[in-house]
Amino acid sequence: MKQKTMIIPFLDLKKINEPYENAFQEKLKSVLHNGWYILGKEVETFEKAFAEYSKTKYCIGVGNGFDALVLIFKGYIELGILQKGDEVIVPANTYIASILAVLQADLVPVLVEPRLETYNINPDLIQEKITSKTKAILAVHLYGKLAEMDKINEIAQNHNLIVVEDCAQSHGAKIDKSQNQNSKFQFENNLQSKVYNLKSASAYSFYPGKNLGCLGDGGAVTTNDEELAKVILSLRNYGSEKKYLNDYIGVNSRLDELQAGFLNLKLVNLDSDNQKRREIAKRYLTEIKNDKIELPFWDFSNNHVFHLFVIRTLKREQLQEHLAQNNVQTVIHYPIPPHKQKAFSDWNNLSFPITEKIHEEVLSLPISPVLAEEDVDFIIEILNQY
């Protein structure tokens, strides 16, 4: 085996964006010369394109993915569908931003354990957490894999709950009815409820490292709910639909015109980029053969876009050091579960054993559309040697 003299970065954003450099420069000139820098044609174009891509009626560009979640919840509050103090079911192992968004909207997060196999919320455990105060479920498509939206939507319909989707890591994940019948775990077909439930909404982040990332912060809300879309359009712009007329106590959270221009250039390649991620993931899953490493579950359908490729191991620090010594960068997503964070000191004594196991064992390998095949070869070889 040849030694790697150059580091294999966890994510090479420079290389990902290099093919767009000339187009970015031209887009910058276009926006500059147009003289309209906030909520202009680029944002309008992107909102239409991303709504069409997501198969929803409405897309509202906002400042970032966190704001997208907050504005969805605040929009439902303005419509009287939610009230401050209502409970929202949230996966216990999600990134902390999902929970912070619920709190920012003056709602109460209720944590539910995930399935160990998929890292997504376990629908079978939601029922026992529903009370008279439960009014919504926040489904997070963690690491790029769609949650079991058929089951989640059924629970929501039975209890008259709102469903909100955190799609910050799942850009382009699609329903695939042709599931592999030989799957290790026989779940019902995953459905992303973009068109399934009229009273639902999805939040997206376009942070640079996302599958569809801009060169700064950016986010969007997609929904089929016309009333919610109208409210969020106002809330993102100081609560104003018409200048100097404020209907709500809003915020300033608008997708930047220039970032929207960059996203317009990159959106056309999202599906092909996701397919490259799946090809790498398939190689990892079929060629990594080490009983010390637990590989993620995937049925080889399009319901996973592998924003992250996350393995588990009992001796994570040892494996991470082994990879680092061989110039392979890795990242832990995430080292501390939300209920163990200092910020949530009231939760520190709670027990979520599956969540805690996940956070103690997970390690993310390099995966991106620009990861070279020879680097994939090397990573697999190093892991098999461990």
Please say whether the beta carbons of 308 and 210 come within 8 A: no
Reported as type and span, the H/E element at residue 272 is helix 270-287
Burial class, 116, CB count within 10 angstroms (exposed 0-12 / middle 13-18 / buried 19+): middle
The one catalytic residue in 210, 242, 276, 357 is 210
Q: Are 152 and 189 in contact (CB under 8 A)?
A: no
Which amino acid type is present at position 286?
Answer: T
Place of tokens 């030694």: 3
CA of residue 111 relative to chain centroid, distance: 18
What separation in angstroms does the CA of 297 have from each of 62, 63, 95, 188, 368?
Answer: 33, 33, 20, 14, 19
Kindly tell me the burial class for residue 49, based on how many C-beta atoms sit within 10 Å of its own C-beta (0-12, 13-18, 19 or more): middle
Q: Is 355 helix (H, G, I), strand (E, B) or coil?
A: helix
Check if 210 is active-site.
yes
CA end-to-end span of the chain:
14
What's the CA gap between 242 and 167, in Å, rounded? 30
| 163 SS3 class | strand
Which residues belong to the active site? 210
